[in-house]
Every structure is written in structure tokens, then in C-alpha cells.
Amino acid sequence: MLGCTLLIGSQLSRIGPRRCYSIGLMVLGLSSLTFGFLGAVHSGDVFLGLGISVRVLESVGAAMAMVANYAIAAREFRSSFAATFGIMEMFAGLGFVLGPLASGGLYQLGGFGLPFYVFGPMSVILGIWAAFSLPPDDAGVDTSSQHGQILEMLKKPLAWIEYSAILIPSVGVGALFPALAQHLRDVDSNLEGNYVMIGVAFATVGTCYTLLVPIFGLVSSKFNRNKLQIITGLTVETVGFALLGPAVPFNLLYPNGKGASWSVYLGGCTVGIGLACNQVAVMADRLSEVTADGLSDDITTYGNLSALFESFFGLGLFIGPLFGGLISDHFPFSTLSTVLSVLCLVVASVMFVYCVVVYGVCRRKKPDHSAVDTDRQMLLIRDTPKPVITEQYVQSKE
């Protein structure tokens, strides 16, 4: 998915966002439906080969749908993109929270294939509906060149700082998956075998994110203080990851020296709040920055921005479990919590320093040419036409 996201984003204006979105959903649905039939394959090697192939095709469809999704939203709701993005992310978070629950219920009712038999056709139907209901692609409208635009977007240091604000928290969320359940059992023996409460700990991040991300989208659209919102979100995430461990040396404040279950639940909620604050602001600020730097405000730019956002977020979710498993195998969970907290704090600090230097110090050092410009404008005023002067200031001989 990471490999094809940037390619799809760069070619979105040629494919057409509506066509890309509908085809992506249909490919995703058909691949999911096909995966459900693989339960009938008895050979392990054959199942592995077919499973990887189908999942790769499914990831291509998902990449097409997601990249086109954000690009269409930016095109249709340009003046309120942050609020629209927040609403879209709310439904995405709702899917992450309810997906495992619904799939687990279907699995208990009908076995391995039923979740895929249900959600696969639903995705295909949604893709067909999108092909006829979404606004048509503007075939006759000239779009900017795709060549080198992604590199142009990444040319300034601010872009790397803001995309790091997407990458690091997503690494942190992914790092929790292999280690959080065992950490809960270690800090509270009463949770041993209580899979519902362990599942709640994983759901706290997604639930808080889902509930609050549309609110932060409205805040971003109304006040347009996206850089301050990014720093705030990263700071909140720093506190959240510190509570999950808890981070060293705060673990010494707990009676058992390892933490408590309430701290894990509170930390998960705090991380979700920080993510909701952070994600919307990065996407909105990136769109404002690249168009202010001279890139065209069209579907090509929207597609490449969507591709970059999805690439950094997906890369973090890919690295996260590997990173979390590596640290948890050799160190206690508090070490992982400390590392994630420090990384978020570092990105927030770099962002703060950058804003102070670029928007504070450097702007103050610029000479004030307003007085000179005013004098220059006065000198460049056109001469008043002679008939007007004659009528107003020259007395008649009569």
C-alpha cells in the first residue's frame, strides 16, 4: 500500500478522482470477497501464496479509495476542508473501533468466510453507487504538472516537521499492539483472562479520536491556528504515552513500580485526544502552505497531499509493531512508553522552535518598507487631467 499510494496520488488527475475512488472500492470489495473463499484451500503453501496476492490487490484498492477520498473532499469543500476532514476521520475511526467487533460477531455466526462475504459485497455496492452519485471529474479543466510536485512539497523543513507529527504518533499507536495486553496483566492481576477490559484498553485511543476529531476539525477551520494546534496535539500525546507506561521515572511513583490499569486507560484516552488534535491540523496546514508557496490549487495538488499523508501514516503503522516488539523483548514496557513520549516531545519542541524563529525572529528582522512604498505610490500618482483642473481651480474669465 505504501508503494502505490504515492504513485496513485501523482496520477490522480489523469485517472480522475471519482473514477479512482469507485474503482478502488470495487477492487477492495472483490479482493475481500475472494479472501473469504480461501478458507477452502487446504494446502498451507497455496493458502499463503494466494492470501498474500489477494491482500496486495486489496491494499491497492484501499490506496486508490483513500487517496481519491481526501482529494475529492479538498476539491468540493475547499473553504471548510479542515472541518470536512475531521468528519471523514470520525467515520474512519468509527470503522476501526466497530470493525473488529462486527467481524468477531460474524465470525462466531458463520465462521472464517462470513465477515468477508458481508463486507466485500458492501464495498462493491458502495463503489458502484459512488460512480453515479459523486460529482463528475472535470475532464476539460487544465491541471498542473505532476512531475516533481511531491519533491516540491517536501522541499521545505516545515513539511518534514509536520509529517513527522503524523509519523511518530502512528508509530506509537502501532507499537502498543504487541505489548499493551501483557503490560495490563502485569500491572493488574485481576485482568488476567478478562479479554473485554483488555479490548477496552485498545479501544480507548480510537474511541476518543472518533469522538473528538470532528470538533478539532471545526476548531481548525474557524481559527486557522494549525501550527499551534499541532504543537498542542503533540504535547498531549507526550502526556498520554507517559501515562501508558508510565514513563521513567514516573513509574517509581506507583506502589508496585510498574503502573496501574487506570493509568493505561487514561493514557489511551489522552493519546486519542492528541491524535484528533494533531491529524486534522497537519493536513489543513499542509494544504495552506503548499498553495501559499505557489503550487496550483487543483486536484493534482490535493492528490499528492493525500498520498503523502497516507504514506507517512501508513509507514508509522507498519514500523510501530516492529519497533514496539523489539523494545518490549529486551526492556520493560515503561521503556517503550518513555521512548514514545520523548519522540513526541522532540517533534513538538522542534515545531515550536521553528515557528518562533521563522514567524517571530525572522519576520521582525525584515525592514519596514511601508513608508517608502507610500512615498513611491504618491510619486507615481497620475497627473490630474487638465480639464478637471481647469474646471475646479481656474476661474472663468467671465
CA distance 219 to 279: 13
- Can you give the CATH number for the domain in which 54 is found? 1.20.1250.20
pLDDT of 202 reads: 82
Query: Would you tell me the crossing angle of helices 261-292 and 195-223 to the nearest 10 degrees?
Result: 30
pLDDT at 389 over 60: no
Distance CA 292, CA 360 (A): 19
Domain count, the chain: 1
* Residue 321 domain flag: yes
Residue 112 has pLDDT above 70, yes or no: yes
User: What beta strand segments (E) does 184-343 contain?
Assistant: none
CB 136 within 8 A of CB 241: no
396: confidence class by pLDDT, cuts 50, 70, 90:
very low
In the structure grid, which three cell numbers stand for residue 264, read together? 493505561
Cα 231 from chain centroid? 15
DSSP, res 41: -
Q: Is residue 142 part of a domain?
A: no
Reply yes or no on whether the pLDDT at 185 is more than 90.
no
Whether the predicted pLDDT of 387 surpasses 70 = no
Distance, CA of 12 to CA of 92 (rounded, Å): 22
Flag whether 333 is in a domain.
yes
Cα dihedral: 344, 346, 349, 350 (round 10): -110
Q: Does the residue 388 lie in any domain?
A: no
Q: Residue 215 belongs to what domain range?
A: 2-135+147-365
Higher pLDDT, 368 or 116: 116
Could you tell me if 36 and 172 are in contact, meaning their C-beta atoms sit under 8 angstroms apart?
no
At 233 the pLDDT is 95
Cell digits of residue 291: 498553495
- For residue 248, what pLDDT is reported? 77
CB 257 within 8 A of CB 187: no
Position 160 scores a pLDDT of: 95
- Cell numbers standing for residue 180: 499493551
- Tens of pLDDT, residue by residue over 11-65, are 888 888 999 999 999 999 999 999 989 888 888 888 889 889 998 899 899 989 9
Q: What would the grid cell of residue 317 be?
A: 503503522
Q: What is the model's pLDDT at position 146?
A: 58
Q: Are 54 and 34 in contact (CB under 8 A)?
A: yes
If you average pLDDT over every residue of the chain, what do you get?
83
**376 domain residue, yes or no:** no
Nine-digit cell string for 382: 497620475
Cα separation, 357 vs 232, whole angstroms: 18
- CA torsion sign for 257, 260, 263, 265 is positive
Residue 76 within any structural domain of the chain: yes
Percent of the chain's residues with pLDDT above 70: 86
Q: In the structure grid, which three cell numbers stand for residue 396, read together?
A: 472663468
Q: Render pLDDT for 283-321 as a digit per residue (tens, 0 to 9).
A: 999 999 998 888 888 888 888 898 899 899 989 988 999
* Amino acid 362: pLDDT: 65
CB < 8 Å & 24+ apart, contacts of 370-378: none
| Dist CA 193 CA 209 (whole Å) | 27
**pLDDT for the residue 363:** 63
Who contacts 23 (Cβ-Cβ below 8 Å, separation ≥6)? 61, 64, 127
Note whether residue 98 is domain-resident: yes
**104 CB-side CA count, 13 A:** 8
Q: Cell numbers at residue 68, please?
A: 481519491
Q: Are 307 and 67 in contact (CB under 8 A)?
A: yes
All cell numbers assigned to 136: 463528475
89-103, 190-204, 226-240, 299-313 — which one is most confidently predicted on average?
A: 226-240
* pLDDT one-digit tens code per residue, 117-140: 999 999 999 999 999 998 887 654
Q: What is the pLDDT of residue 220?
A: 92
Task: Tell me whether residue 374 is in a domain.
Answer: no
Helix, strand or coil for residue 225? coil
Describe the crossing of helices 195-223 and 157-176 by its angle, rounded to 10 degrees.
Answer: 160
Whole-angstrom distance, CA of residue 286 vs CA of residue 292: 10
Q: Which residue has the higher pLDDT, 298 or 2?
A: 298
Q: 143, 296 in Cβ contact below 8 A?
A: yes
Higher pLDDT, 166 or 99: 166
Cβ neighbourhood burial of 339 (10 Å; 0-12, 13-18, 19+) = buried
Peptide bond into 249 cis (omega under 30): yes
pLDDT in tens, 339-374: 999 999 999 999 999 999 887 766 655 444 444 344
